[in-house]
Structures are given as C-alpha cells and as structure tokens.
Amino acid sequence: MDTDTILLIIAEWIGVVAVGMLVGLSPQLRKIRPLQFLFPRREASVTLSVNAVMFVFSILLYGRFFTAAGIPGTLQPEALLQRIILDVLGLAAIGAALYTRKQPLRSALWGKDALRPNLQFGLLLAALIIFLRGKVFAITNGIETAEGVALLQLLIISACEVTIFFGYSQPRLTARFGENTGWLISALLYTLWQVIPLALPGVGGQAALFQVGLAIGQGVILGWITRKSRHILAPVLYLTLSQWLFLIK
C-alpha cells in the first residue's frame, strides 16, 4: 500500500468519527438505553473465555489446515472462504453462549429499536467512504462477478465479526470495565483475530505491517461506531464496504 492509500484511510476514519458524532445526537438513538447486566463480572468472564476458545481453535486451524492469508487489495477467494469458516464457527460459539445463558439477541445489539437510524447511519458512512476512496466511477461502470461474490463474502464476514467482538463482547466488557476500557479491549480482540493469519509461513513484509495497522484502526473505529449506533447494522455495513473497496479497481 502506498502513502496516498494510507492517507485516504486515515481521512476515512476521521470522517467516520465526525459522522458518528453527528448521528449520536439523533433523538431516535439517544432514547435507546444502553444494555445493563445484573452480573457484569460474570458476563466479562464468560466473554473472555469464549474469545479465548475461539482464538485457540483458530490458531489450530491455521496451523494444520489453512494456508492463505488475505492481504488488503488482493482478491483471494481461498482466504475469504477460510475467514467465513472461522467466523461462522465463532458466531456459533456466541450463539451457544446466548442460548445457554437465556439471553436475547438484543443483548448482542441485534434489537429492532435502532434498525432504521442504523440503516441511515450505514448509508451515510457508505457514501462517505465511496467518495473519499474515489470509487464512484469504479462502481457505476460495473463490477466483475468475482468482485460481486467477494462483496457477499465480506458481508458475511463482517456480520459475524462485528457481532462477536462489538455486538456481544463490547457491551459486556463495557459493563465490567467501563465504556472506554471495554471499547478498547474489544478493539484489541478484533485486532488479534485479524492478525492470526499473519503467522502463516511466508507472510511478512510491508503488507503484513500494513494489515496490522489497518486492523488496529478498524477495531477502534468499529467500536466507536457501535458506541454511537447502539446496534451492529451500521458497523457491519461500514466494515463490509471498507474492505470491499480495496478489491475493486
């Protein structure tokens, strides 16, 4: 990735923060109460335990079966498929935790109350990043079949990862450690999940360094969007499009 791309991504993050601050003033979102948990210490322990199991399992899979590491800016169907497999398994673990603890989907920020303002928020973010990345004509001129398939794959990946780390984990860690600390721990967990493939043999150099920096920034920004939106729809739409725009020319 060249310097211009890095500057564009930084500008994108600044724009996302600005839009989030404005959307956070929405009466529809402000009237939605933050999640409350009766036993925040227990919730945090379960959350960290589930994440630990996910990380151990993913390391085993990458060590024994997976071979491709997705690098931003390259279309790698095998790497996307591997991410989908891992993310769906992680989402299943989150679903099992919700089911066994008899907690509703709303406790993973999948409630109905914030759907409409989150759709609006997500569309604003989409328009912003398409404009900043200069991809308007790339989209209107048509996309290839492989790029369309990648968009669907990234939507699945984003829905799983945002649900795991920001819909489920962040509210529980926030309840235990406070809003800012819970946000940053969730961003750290997301970052670690993204960089596990970089341990594969032959992966390294500037591309890997860029991916680490990108993962850190995305984790912080996704946590910020989730704080403002109080739902996972807007961060899912943002993450999907932000990653997909790396693939189209």
Tokens 């079966």 map to which residue? 65
Helices 205-229 and 179-195 cross at an angle (nearest 10°) of 150
Q: What local confidence, expressed as pLDDT, does residue 40 receive?
A: 92
Q: What local confidence, expressed as pLDDT, does residue 75 receive?
A: 61
Q: What local confidence, expressed as pLDDT, does residue 219 receive?
A: 96
Angle formed at CA 162 by CA 179 and CA 118, multiple of 5 degrees:
80
What average pLDDT does this structure show over 3-13? Answer: 87
**What span, in angstroms and rounded, lies between the C-alpha atoms of 243 and 208?**
16
Res. 181 pLDDT band, cuts 50 70 90: very high
Q: What local confidence, expressed as pLDDT, does residue 1 receive?
A: 59
**Distances from the Cα of 228 to the Cα of 115, 220, 221, angstroms:** 13, 13, 11
**What span, in angstroms and rounded, lies between the C-alpha atoms of 130 and 124?**
10
Q: What local confidence, expressed as pLDDT, does residue 72 receive?
A: 52
Res. 69 pLDDT band, cuts 50 70 90: low
More reliable by pLDDT, 23 or 217: 217
Q: What local confidence, expressed as pLDDT, does residue 2 receive?
A: 67
Tokens 């569309």 map to which residue? 123
- Of 185, 179, 172, the C-alpha closest to 107 is 172
**What span, in angstroms and rounded, lies between the C-alpha atoms of 204 and 109?**
36
pLDDT tens per residue across span 187-214? 999 999 988 877 665 556 677 788 888 8
Tokens 């962040």 map to which residue? 170
Q: What are phi and psi of 144, to 5 degrees?
A: -75, 160
pLDDT tens per residue across span 131-175? 988 898 888 888 888 889 999 999 999 999 999 999 999 999 999
Rg of the Cα trace of the chain?
A: 18
What average pLDDT does this structure show over 8-27? Answer: 88
Q: What local confidence, expressed as pLDDT, does residue 63 receive?
A: 75
> How many CB atoms are located within 10 Å of the residue 204 CB?
12
- Which segment of 70-74, 147-151, 164-168, 236-240 scores lowest on mean pLDDT? 70-74
Q: Identify the burial level of 96 via C-beta atoms within 10 angstroms of its C-beta, where 0-12 means exposed, 13-18 middle and 19 or more buried.
A: exposed
Query: What mean pLDDT, rounded, does the chain reach?
Result: 88
- Which segment of 17-26, 27-36, 122-131, 176-185 scores lowest on mean pLDDT? 27-36
Q: What local confidence, expressed as pLDDT, does residue 141 receive?
A: 86
Q: What local confidence, expressed as pLDDT, does residue 18 receive?
A: 92
